[in-house]
Amino acid sequence: MNQVIDQLSSRKSIRQFTGDSVKTEDLELIIKTAQRCPTSINGQQISLVYTKDKEKIKQIAELCGGQEQVATADVFIAIVVDFNRTIFAVEQAGEKHVIERSAEGVLVGAVDAGIMLNAIQVSAESLGYGTTAIGAIRNEPEAMIKLLGLPPKTFPIVGTTIGVSTKDAKDASRYLSDKARWPK
Ligand SMILES: Cc1cc2nc3c(=O)[nH]c(=O)nc-3n(C[C@H](O)[C@H](O)[C@H](O)COP(=O)(O)O)c2cc1C
Cβ of 121 less than 6 Å from ligand 1? no
Q: Is pLDDT above 50 for 184?
A: no
Cβ of 132 less than 6 Å from ligand 1? yes
> Which residue, 171, 158, 178, is CA-closest to 48?
158
**Phi, psi dihedral angles at 66 (to 5 degrees):** 75, 40
pLDDT at res. 181? 42
CA 108: distance to chain centroid? 16
Higher-scoring residue by pLDDT: 110, 173: 110
pLDDT at res. 174? 58
Cβ of 137 less than 6 Å from ligand 1? no
Residue nearest to atom 9 of ligand 1 (CA): 134
Question: How confident is the model over 123-181, as pLDDT tens digits?
Answer: 999 999 999 999 999 999 999 999 999 999 999 999 999 999 998 898 876 545 444 44
> Which residue, 26, 69, 76, 73, is CA-closest to 51?
76
What angle do helix axes 141-148 and 54-63 make, rounded to 10 degrees? Answer: 170
Residue nearest to atom 1 of ligand 1 (CA): 135
Q: Is pLDDT above 80 for 19?
A: yes
Q: Which of 15, 77, 115, 132 to mutate to test the pocket of ligand 1 (most atoms within 8 A of CB)?
A: 132
